[in-house]
Structure 1
Amino acid sequence: MTTAHKILIADDEPNIVISLEYLLKREGYQVLVARDGQEALEAIAREHPDLVLLDVMMPHKTGFEVCQAVRTTPGIEATPILMLTARGRETDVAKGLALGANAYMTKPFSTRELVVKVAEMLGAAG
């Protein structure tokens, strides 16, 4: 029996966290939650999740800062990151990818689209 993939949701919007958590648990994933950038960074270092859903706009550290920190920290630098943001401008997408995000989704996104993307990324990682 394989263990469930561990996914960290890093987002400060409770409604988004609740719906993502429900959705991912229903798909059989183990879900962790961080409510700000600093918490996300600590959780990634401690838990070594298989995937991080990272919101760009968060208190303490932005998703961009978290992404950059993960990519430069030995031991967690290969953690797959899917950035979620309400800011869908090309420059934001380019910045996220340049800092090392593996993929990018703009809010609002369809839950189906997200589930497919998560499975795709975990498939590529595993």
Structure 2
Amino acid sequence: MPADAKRRVLVVEDDDNIATALHYVVSREGMACDRIASGATALDHIRATRPDLVLLDIMLPEVSGYEICEGIRRDPVLAATRVLMMTARGSAQEQRRALALGADGFISKPFDLGTLRGEVWRLLSPAAG
């Protein structure tokens, strides 16, 4: 990645307050950030914009985050895209399912902003790839 290229993050979150907070955190870290609220359009948007990282809510209207994560991993063009899944139902079972479907990380809501920043940078580091 060229030194002047910004990392691109896509927030897929239907709760506007959470999406706004995520956008703020990512933007403050110097990354380009885009937001969408619908699971139905997420895969097409990811294919069109090719983000470096997707912050993906599990419980979305129309199509779940689990289904979107599966779609990313099945698509050879998108397979290397990093995915951080988020949910308010942060049980161990939810986390196991997310990671089994190919998520690179998992965070429970409400999340500490420092923890979120740490996860974003961990997933975008060259060692994570």
Same fold (TM over 0.5): yes
Alignment of 1:78 with 2:80, yes or no, is: yes
**Residue pairs, 1:63-102, within 5 angstroms:** 63-102=65-104
Where 2:103 maps in the other structure, the secondary structure is: coil
Query: Which stretches of structure 1, 4 residues or longer, exceed 2 Å deviation after superposition?
Result: none
1:49 pairs, out of 33, 51, 63, with 51
Deviation at 1:36, TM superposition (A): 1.4
* Matched letter for residue 115 of structure 1: R
2:112 pairs, out of 106, 110, 113, with 110
Match of 2:20 in 1: 18
Percent identity between matched residues is 39
| TM-score scaled by length of structure 2 | 0.93
CA distance in 2, matches of 1:4, 1:115: 16
Deviation at 1:125, TM superposition (A): 4.6
Q: Which runs of 5+ in 2 are unaligned?
A: none
CA distance in 2, matches of 1:59, 1:67: 15
Deviation at 1:2, TM superposition (A): 2.4
Provide Cα deviations, 1:57-116, integer angstroms capped at 9, x if missing partner: 001110000000111012001111000111111111111011000010000110111011
Where 1:37 maps in the other structure, the secondary structure is: coil
Where 2:40 maps in the other structure, the secondary structure is: helix
How many residue pairs match? The answer is 126
Alignment of 1:59 with 2:39, yes or no, is: no
* Matched letter for residue 32 of structure 2: Q
Match of 2:122 in 1: 120
Deviation at 1:26, TM superposition (A): 1.0
Q: Which runs of 5+ in 1 are unaligned?
A: none
CA distance in 1, matches of 2:75, 2:46: 11
Higher mean C-alpha deviation, range 11-20 or range 116-125:
116-125
- RMSD, aligned α-carbons: 1.1
Deviation at 1:12, TM superposition (A): 0.1
CA distance in 2, matches of 1:125, 1:48: 17
Provide Cα deviations, 1:46-67, integer angstroms capped at 9, x if missing partner: 1110000000000111000000
CA distance in 2, matches of 1:99, 1:37: 16
